[in-house]
Structure formats: structure tokens, C-alpha cells
Chains A and B, each alone.
Chain A
Amino acid sequence: DTAVSQTPKYLVTQMGNDKSIKCEQNLGHDTMYWYKQDSKKFLKIMFSYNNKELIINETVPNRFSPKSPDKAHLNLHINSLELGDSAVYFCASSQGSAEEQFFGPGTRLTVL
């Protein structure tokens, strides 16, 4: 059984479009995250939710809007896509803070 799943795995789109990435975890964890990994493999946290409540919001353009309909899901919606948004986006979950984070397989976003 997949612990943390993301859809889609690949996303190719034009500049200016709006797109969403979905994430689901079946681990029963309370906390979920979105990370961005750039072409140099650098991993940077974007958002963190605990029990559907936003608790970490890094300096991310407001074109990025996370939504957590329930504890098991954390979706990422991106408006007006830009070339610089091209990256791999990872969803992760953990049980509490300072604990192991389980990562999804990633979504490779390419903006043309």
C-alpha cells in the first residue's frame, strides 16, 4: 500500500495556466507538508498543515495556495504559472513534529 501518494507524477503546462497537485496519506499522520526541489536538488519547505490548520508558511508567492480538506489530504493549487515554478514538488507527512517525514514520489512540474 502506498503511504504517501501524489497525482499527477508529471505535469507539463504553459505559462499563465492554473494547475493543482493532489496528495493523500494513509498513515494516519497529523501533519502534512509541501516541499519544492529545484534542478540542483535543493529541498525547501513551502507549507505545513497540522490537522487541516496551516502552521508553516514560508516565503512563497501567494500564487501558491495549499488546501487541506481533511487530515489525510493536502492539495497544492498554483495560479498564473511561471517558468521559475518548474521543479519537483514533494508532499510529505509525519506524526507530530521532529519525527520521521514520509515523502511521496514527487510531481515533476514543467512550465513552458
Chain B
Amino acid sequence: GENVEQHPSTLSVQEGDSAVIKCTYSDSASNYFPWYKQELGKGPQLIIDIRSNVGEKKDQRIAVTLNKTAKHFSLHITETQPEDSAVYFCAASLSSGYSSASKIIFGSGTRLSIRP
């Protein structure tokens, strides 16, 4: 089945610097790659997603890149701010065979800390 690996597990950056989180996936059939942010005591929340027909997507300070050949995708956060501190999850979506089912496999998470 699909396997998603995420690195690093923890990341500490100075406020204002950039943060990069990398993920790899194993199943070339995966075609949807969301990124979720989980703040302390809350459920994960989608921050950006990318589909396999696109190589890059940007939303203000957040960007995601996808390399289908290498089966890599990355999250880039520029000009980091204290409120960016959270756990970030990458994920890959794999169809389970049912027409309406799409199982999302999550990476192991990256705890991002922004130093003031």
C-alpha cells in the first residue's frame, strides 16, 4: 500500500526565515497531495493542496512543489511568524477502489517551532 515519509520530524527556525518540509510517497497512482497544520489541542486543518497535474502552487507565504517522477513533494513557508508554530502533516491520496472512496495516508508530522 501507499507509504508517505516526512522529514524532518522537528524543525526550529528563526522568525522571518524560511522553513521547508519534505515528503516522499511510494504509490505512483496517488494524485492528490494535501498539507495540514495542527495547532495544539485542535484538529488538523488544510493549508494548501496540490494535484498531480500541477508542479507548483503558491498561496501568500506558503508554497508546495511536486515532483511526480521522483515522487517528492515539499512545503515551503517564507517569512515565518510565531503563529506558524504547529505540527505540519503532508499526505497522499490513494483510491481504495470504491468510486467514492479516497484514502488519505498521512506522513508522520513535523513539529515546527519559530524562534523569536
Contacts and interface: CB of A to CB of B under 8 A. Distances in A.
Q: How large is the interface on A (under 10, 10 to 19, 20 to 34, 35 or more residues)?
A: 20 to 34
B49 A55 contact: no
Nearest to B95: A97
Interface residues of B, number: 29
Interface in A42-92: 42-45, 48, 50-51, 55-56, 90, 92
B44 A97 contact: no
B103 interface: yes
Contact of B43 (A44, A97, A105): A105
Question: Which of A40, A42, A97 has the most CB atoms of chain B within a 10 A radius of its CB?
Answer: A97
Q: Which of A40, A41, A43, A90 has the most CB of B within 10 A?
A: A43
A43 B35 CA distance: 13
A99 B33 CA distance: 10
